[in-house]
Amino acid sequence: MAAESRIALMKERFYRTLASLRILRNAKNTAFIEDERYKELIEEVSTAKTTARKTSRDYWLLRRYDVLTIDQNSKLIFPIKETTSTIIYYACGSELFDILHEAHIRIGHGGRDRMMKQVPSRSDRFSVPARR
């Protein structure tokens, strides 16, 4: 029970710090996707895929995103290219702590650099998009 409360405190502190950083930076060109925007993007991409007459926004969405649906559960992914078989998922805001915490535990409580190598290599979970 003590471990669960410690994790809950870490999670709360993580999201509080993340929120304050987002307010300070006020960046609109960030890779961070809030939960509401994540759901909107899934809807927009699904609509863009089925629309017969596509707009420039539809083409933009389809170049950057795709939707993978498994058991009525839709996830936003990078479009899969013929040359790669790796599926890279976009992570929404509410999943970030769990992804990072899982990677931290998996590498034996290693540091930031080891985690940054580990997180993108886990294609069966969620990957954080690389900065361009």
Contacts of 51 (CB under 8 A, 6+ apart): 58
The structural domains of the chain, with segments of one domain joined by +, span 1-30
Predicted pLDDT of residue 122: 46
Q: How would you write the pLDDT of the chain (132 residues) with one tens digit per residue?
A: 688 899 999 999 999 988 888 777 766 666 678 889 999 999 999 999 999 999 999 999 999 999 999 999 999 999 988 888 888 888 888 888 888 888 888 888 777 787 777 666 543 444 444 443
Contacts of 62 (CB under 8 A, 6+ apart): 45, 48, 49, 54, 79
CA torsion angle 97 80 121 71 (round to 10): 50
Contacts of 8 (CB under 8 A, 6+ apart): none
Predicted pLDDT of residue 62: 95
Residue 113 dihedral angles phi and psi, to the nearest 5° = -65, -40
Predicted pLDDT of residue 85: 80
